[in-house]
Structure 1
Amino acid sequence: MHSTLRAVRATANVSLAAGLVAVLVAGSALAETWDMPTPYPEGNFHTQNIIQFAEDVNAAAGGDLEIVVHPAGSLIKHPEIKNAVRSGQVPVGEFLLSRLSNENPVFGVDSVPFLANSYEAAEKLWAASRDVTEALLARQNMTILFAVPWPPQGIYADGEIASLDDMSGLKFRTYNAATERLAQLAGAVPTQVEVPDVSQAFATGRVEAMITSPSTGVNIKAWDFLSHYYDTQAWLPKNVTVINVDAFEALSPELQDVVMTAAAEAERRGWEASRTETAEKTQALSDNGIAVAAPSDALAAGLREIGTTMAEEWAERAGDEGATILQSYGN
């Protein structure tokens, strides 16, 4: 009797264990984790917006999909994020769109100086260029989830810059083809430096000036090694969050809707956050001892000349696609 009972219990335990394994296996098959590399620190407003995007997806997916954000290049460095998404190494990621301008000039239209130097103009330019941009990325097996602009770009330096003459010979930090060309036309020395290395580059004298947003200036505590910020509002470059097409299409229709709904909200929220960021971070620069000023008439005139030259060069390189964008933007 006892031996029979023990045999029945043993059989039941085996069946229970097998059932639990089956449940766990089924659960793991349903749940999917996506690692998402981003290039900027966790406190940056772009990263905060993406963290909220991931939280929105995770909550709405009900455990079937989880996005894990890896900020500050901790998983994949900025220059490699696009190709990592393209190849499927990661399903989703964020990068600065104009980094791709060497591939195609269309990707750098938002970094043509003074072409769109307000949020209203930047929104109009994005509406004019989005379809062409998405078509180009689709050829690389990617699609855009959302795009968010940086605050307008200004010039930082450790000293006064009254005209372009004061930029001559300065080692100028660049981060894409447009900033490199601007430095060349200003007579400065272009020096490629990624955001995580900017502070050290200034501390060691590798660079002496840069053009970037108030956000980056505050993130790197520019007041520790720079004295002046000129609010040139040169352009509003965008970060894009892209997704691998194969990874997206592998999702159920319900999860695809979850991702796209959260993406639409992230774009709306991100543009609003960028506007707020501009005011708050410009004030923070001043509060921490940076001399914040509009460019002098001489400097503004010199920069406008550079902008005209760069706009003409961009239009020539961009060809028919560029003409389509400019025509749509002008209407």
Structure 2
Amino acid sequence: MRSAGIAAALCVAATAATTTTVAAEVPEMTFNVVGTWSTGAMFKEHEEPMFETLLPEMTGGKLNGEVTAMTELGLKGFETVKLLQSNVYDAGFMALAYIASGDPVFEGIDLALAPANTDEARALVTAYEPVVSRAMEDIHGVKYLISYPFPAQVLVCTEPFETLADLQGRKIRVYSTTLGDLAEGLGGVSVSIPLSEVPTALQRGVIDCGISSGVSMYAAKWQDVVGYLYETPVSAGIAAVGMNMAKWDALGEAGQAAMMETATAFAEKAWAALKETEQQGIACLTGTVIDGGQPCRYGEPADMTLVRDSAVNTEIREAVLRDFVLKRYAERCGPDCTALWNETAGTVIGIEAQP
């Protein structure tokens, strides 16, 4: 017994010594980091704390960063990856839909309507993430750290609708090619407008509907001009954390391990919050509390009408996914790219993309 106790103590001491040695090997570095939208909950609650709080805590203050939202810098979503390529920023948070126009392989992680729920979204991302990681390094020369979800993307309109079939002919604001496929699959017209301009466009009738996260809509006061919210998300809203490759290499083995550990903890927190942010979007925009959620914690709830899901909508979503979203994705992606998607993400959701 005594020998076992001594062995255990020696093991603990050895582990502690190893941990101390690894921590000692982490270099002292400060990163300039570009975040996403300053108006969104994701930036304040997850992105900013990753580099300014979590990373210093996990490295004894040796690694830290200063995070500036791209909206404060006057940047567009697709520019982040270019800033990392050109050494302007050391690290950044990127909504993958915004860089997908450069190569369809990036679309595959966040296709409209593909995941039916939160659990399926995460399984799809896990299956397809290695493909995106390789593509990020091969195409852009950027180190891909990890994926994480924005609050689920939902659809709102200014005028009433009972089912998705009622959206035929309506002008729908989208921000990605795959969401454009969704809008056109519903018989609508896809319109690309920057997030900050959407409330004015809705008010003036330039568009009839829009897609974003519920919490972001609430923060941007879309509820002042829209009245109807479809309860089921139409996209997962997947983003990624990336690093300039030279900065990544400079971290060394111990620094890279610490960075990946921090990124993993950050992503886990974002995934854990996904269902709650979906509930909050509905609670804040409509005042309706669903699935055991909580009342709006961002302010006084609006009184939009919640359009509940139905069997009719399920049939419509499945048809649009098969005949528009996946079909057009396969056409853009090509045979090899499509086969790779089918072997990974497609296996998770049980459907193949066919041109």
Q: TM-score range by the shorter chain?
A: 0.7 to 0.9
Other-structure match for 1:114 = 113
* Number of aligned positions between the proteins: 302
- Of 39, 42, 45, 1:45 maps to 42
- The Cα of 1:47 is off from its aligned counterpart by 4.1
Q: Distance in 2 between matches of 1:261 and 1:42?
A: 27
- Of 70, 80, 83, 2:68 maps to 70
Gap regions ≥5 residues in structure 1:
1-29
- The Cα of 1:248 is off from its aligned counterpart by 0.8
Moved more, 232-241 or 318-327: 318-327
Q: Report the 3-state secondary structure (helix = DSSP H, G, I; strand = E; otherwise coil) of the residue aligned with 1:241.
A: strand
Q: Report the 3-state secondary structure (helix = DSSP H, G, I; strand = E; otherwise coil) of the residue aligned with 1:156.
A: strand
Other-structure match for 2:341 = 325
- The Cα of 1:158 is off from its aligned counterpart by 0.8
**C-alpha offsets along residues 72-120 of structure 1, whole Å, 9 cap, x if unaligned?**
5212432311111122211111121122222222211243333212111
Decide whether the 8 Å contact of 1:154 with 1:234 is kept in 2.
Answer: yes
Q: 1:313 to 1:64 in 2, by over 3 A?
A: same
Q: Report the 3-state secondary structure (helix = DSSP H, G, I; strand = E; otherwise coil) of the residue aligned with 2:218.
A: helix
Other-structure match for 1:128 = 127
**Amino acid of the residue matched to residue 150 of structure 1?**
F
- The Cα of 1:220 is off from its aligned counterpart by 1.8
Other-structure match for 1:7 = none
Q: Report the 3-state secondary structure (helix = DSSP H, G, I; strand = E; otherwise coil) of the residue aligned with 1:102.
A: helix
- The Cα of 1:53 is off from its aligned counterpart by 0.9
Decide whether the 8 Å contact of 2:165 with 2:316 is kept in 1.
Answer: no
Q: Report the 3-state secondary structure (helix = DSSP H, G, I; strand = E; otherwise coil) of the residue aligned with 2:102.
A: coil
**C-alpha offsets along residues 14-34 of structure 1, whole Å, 9 cap, x if unaligned?**
xxxxxxxxxxxxxxxx85432
- The Cα of 1:62 is off from its aligned counterpart by 4.4
- The Cα of 1:279 is off from its aligned counterpart by 1.6
- The Cα of 1:235 is off from its aligned counterpart by 2.8
Q: Distance in 2 between matches of 1:326 and 1:113?
A: 16
Decide whether the 8 Å contact of 2:42 with 2:150 is kept in 1.
Answer: no
Other-structure match for 2:237 = 237
**1:311 aligned to 2:326?**
yes
Decide whether the 8 Å contact of 1:38 with 1:47 is kept in 2.
Answer: no
Decide whether the 8 Å contact of 2:84 with 2:90 is kept in 1.
Answer: yes
Q: Distance in 2 between matches of 1:192 and 1:255?
A: 40
Decide whether the 8 Å contact of 1:98 with 1:109 is kept in 2.
Answer: no
Other-structure match for 2:189 = 189
Structure ranking higher on relative contact order (CA contacts 8 Å, 6+ apart): 1
What TM-score do the two structures reach when normalised by structure 2?
Answer: 0.77
Moved more, 161-170 or 245-254: 161-170
- The Cα of 1:61 is off from its aligned counterpart by 4.1
Decide whether the 8 Å contact of 1:38 with 1:93 is kept in 2.
Answer: yes
Please give the residue correspondences for 1:136-147 in structure 2 after superposition, counting only pairs within 5 Å.
136-139=135-138, 140-147=140-147
Decide whether the 8 Å contact of 2:230 with 2:308 is kept in 1.
Answer: yes
- The Cα of 1:203 is off from its aligned counterpart by 3.0
Q: Distance in 2 between matches of 1:62 and 1:302?
A: 52
Decide whether the 8 Å contact of 2:50 with 2:266 is kept in 1.
Answer: yes
- The Cα of 1:296 is off from its aligned counterpart by 4.9
- The Cα of 1:323 is off from its aligned counterpart by 1.8
Q: Distance in 2 between matches of 1:99 and 1:219?
A: 21
**Amino acid of the residue matched to residue 316 of structure 2?**
G
Other-structure match for 1:246 = 246
Q: 1:92 to 1:290 in 2, by over 3 A?
A: same
**Amino acid of the residue matched to residue 113 of structure 1?**
A
RMSD, aligned CA: 2.3
Other-structure match for 1:56 = 54
Decide whether the 8 Å contact of 1:152 with 1:278 is kept in 2.
Answer: yes
Q: 1:61 to 1:149 in 2, by over 3 A?
A: same
Q: 1:120 to 1:46 in 2, by over 3 A?
A: farther
Please give the residue correspondences for 1:1-331 in structure 2 after superposition, counting only pairs within 5 Å.
32-41=29-38, 43-54=40-51, 55-71=53-69, 73-75=71-73, 76-139=75-138, 140-164=140-164, 166-287=166-287, 288-309=302-323, 310-318=325-333, 319-329=335-345, 330=347
Q: Distance in 2 between matches of 1:90 and 1:317?
A: 31
- The Cα of 1:130 is off from its aligned counterpart by 1.0
Other-structure match for 2:7 = none
**Amino acid of the residue matched to residue 340 of structure 2?**
T
Gap regions ≥5 residues in structure 2:
1-26, 288-301, 349-355
